[in-house]
Structure 1
Amino acid sequence: MILRTVKIFTLCLLFVSSGVLLLQNSHAGEQQLKIGFVNPVKLLELSPQGEKALRLLEEEFRPRDQELIDLREKALALEVDLDKNRLILQASEIKKRQRAIDSVRRKIKRDQQEAREDYNIRRNEELAKLQRLVREMIVTIANEDGFDLIVEQAVYVNNRIDLTERVLQRLQQE
Structure 2
Amino acid sequence: MKNFSRQCWLGLALGLFMFSANAQDFRVGYVNTDRIFKEANAAKAAQAKLEQEFSKREKDLVDQGNVLKAASDKLEREGPTLPDSQRLARQKQLVDQDRDFQRKRREFQEDLNSRKNEELQQVLERANKVVKQVAEAEKYDVILQEAVYINPKLDITDKVIKALNATPAK
TM over 0.5: yes
- Going from structure 1 to structure 2, the CA distance change for 1:158 and 1:94 (only over 3 Å counts) comes to closer
Question: Max radius of gyration: which structure?
Answer: 2
- Going from structure 1 to structure 2, the CA distance change for 1:91 and 1:35 (only over 3 Å counts) comes to same
What's the counterpart of residue 55 of structure 1?
48
Deviation at residue 27 of structure 1 after TM alignment: 7.0
Q: 2:26 aligns with which of 33, 39, 44?
A: 33
Q: Distance in 1 between matches of 2:152 and 2:48?
A: 34
Residues 40, 161 of structure 2: 8 Å contact kept: yes
Q: Distance in 1 between matches of 2:97 and 2:90?
A: 11
Q: Distance in 2 between matches of 1:74 and 1:114?
A: 19
- Cα RMSD of the aligned pairs, angstroms, is 2.3
Residues 30, 150 of structure 2: 8 Å contact kept: no
Larger CA deviation: 68-77 vs 163-172? 68-77
Q: Is 1:89 aligned to residue 82 of structure 2?
A: yes
Q: 1:74 aligns with which of 67, 70, 73?
A: 67
SS in structure 1 at match of 2:99:
helix
Deviation at residue 172 of structure 1 after TM alignment: 1.8
Q: Is 1:99 aligned to residue 88 of structure 2?
A: no
What's the TM-score, normalizing by structure 1? Answer: 0.76
What's the counterpart of residue 122 of structure 1?
115
State the identity %.
26
Larger CA deviation: 115-124 vs 79-88? 79-88
Deviations 1:46-81 (A, max 9, x none): 111111111111111111111111211221232233
Q: Distance in 1 between matches of 2:43 and 2:138?
A: 25
What's the counterpart of residue 157 of structure 1?
151
SS in structure 2 at match of 1:86:
helix
Deviations 1:22-59 (A, max 9, x none): 9x928729x82222222121112111111111111111
Q: 1:143 aligns with which of 136, 145, 149?
A: 136
Q: Distance in 2 between matches of 1:139 and 1:39?
A: 14
Deviation at residue 91 of structure 1 after TM alignment: 1.3
- Going from structure 1 to structure 2, the CA distance change for 1:156 and 1:78 (only over 3 Å counts) comes to closer
Residues 27, 141 of structure 2: 8 Å contact kept: yes
Q: Distance in 1 between matches of 2:151 and 2:36?
A: 16
What's the TM-score, normalizing by structure 2? Answer: 0.78
**How many correspondences in the alignment?**
150
- Going from structure 1 to structure 2, the CA distance change for 1:153 and 1:76 (only over 3 Å counts) comes to closer
Q: Distance in 2 between matches of 1:36 and 1:75?
A: 53
- Going from structure 1 to structure 2, the CA distance change for 1:95 and 1:44 (only over 3 Å counts) comes to same
2:79 counterpart letter in structure 1: R
Q: Which runs of 5+ in 1 are unaligned?
A: 1-21
